[in-house]
Amino acid sequence: MEADDVSLNPADYKPSTLGKFYLTFMKYLQAPFDCGASVSGNSSAIKKILPCYDSTASSTMEPYQTLHGTNVPYSYLDDGQIALQDGTLLLFENNSSANIDYVWIHVDLNGYNRPPNRWGYDLFTFEFLDGELRTMGDKETKYNDIDKYCSLKSTQALNGIACAYRAKTESDYFKWAIKNLK
């Protein structure tokens, strides 16, 4: 995207252009499956076929879970989805309001149809920052306090969102996850 002079600045992808970032990103993937984006809670905007996830509040699908087992808010997963050939599901959050612009890509490594669909186990979050895709939890990302956002002791509503950083930096992270989360 950068080589093609496509903007990586989240501020360039306003809510009025819903899905624009994920649709732009999708052009750089090989044979992606477009699951769609929800539009103001309109569930018909999501293709309800496998391997997609209905990210609307009216969904009857089992929701994604935080590290401590509560539901991840649907609104964090509703700005587009792309299924890859290997089953990986990319879920986009593209916020631009109140002078807070960000683009997050949540990556479900084994796809929605293969549980546990849980942050820190098979769901990891990345943030576009300064033209780079960074693991959530890196010091400059929005949720960088690992003790609050990737800890079994934390009760934060978004606990698990920063586990991508731990998975990247701790060689035994996945052993810990298998032992403590499944």
Q: What is the pLDDT of residue 122?
A: 96
**Would 40 be classed as within a structural domain?**
yes
Q: Show the beta-strand stretches assigned E in 19-80.
A: 33-36
* % residues pLDDT > 70 (the chain): 86
Has residue 107 been placed in a domain? yes
Question: What is the chain's length?
Answer: 182
**CA–CA dist 168, 164 (Å, integer):** 6
Return the H-helix or E-strand segment holding 44: none
Q: Which residues of the chain have pLDDT under 50?
A: 39-47
Distances from the Cα of 21 to the Cαs of 67, 73, 129, in angstroms? 27, 20, 14
- 142 part of a folded domain: yes
User: Could you report the per-residue pLDDT of 12-58, keeping only the tens digit for each?
Assistant: 876 555 557 888 899 999 999 998 876 444 444 444 556 888 887 77
Q: What share of the chain is helix, strand, coil (3-state, %, to 5)?
A: 20, 25, 55
Residue 112 domain-assigned? yes
Q: How many domains does the chain have?
A: 1
Three-class DSSP category at 24 = helix
pLDDT in the model for residue 42: 46
In a domain, 3, yes or no: no
Looking at residue 19, what is its pLDDT? Answer: 57
Task: Report the distance separating Cα 25 and Cα 85, nearest Å.
Answer: 16
Residue 4 lies in a domain: no
Q: Is residue 83 part of a domain?
A: yes
Domain range for 56 is: 10-181
- How many other CB atoms are found less than 10 A from the CB of residue 33? 17
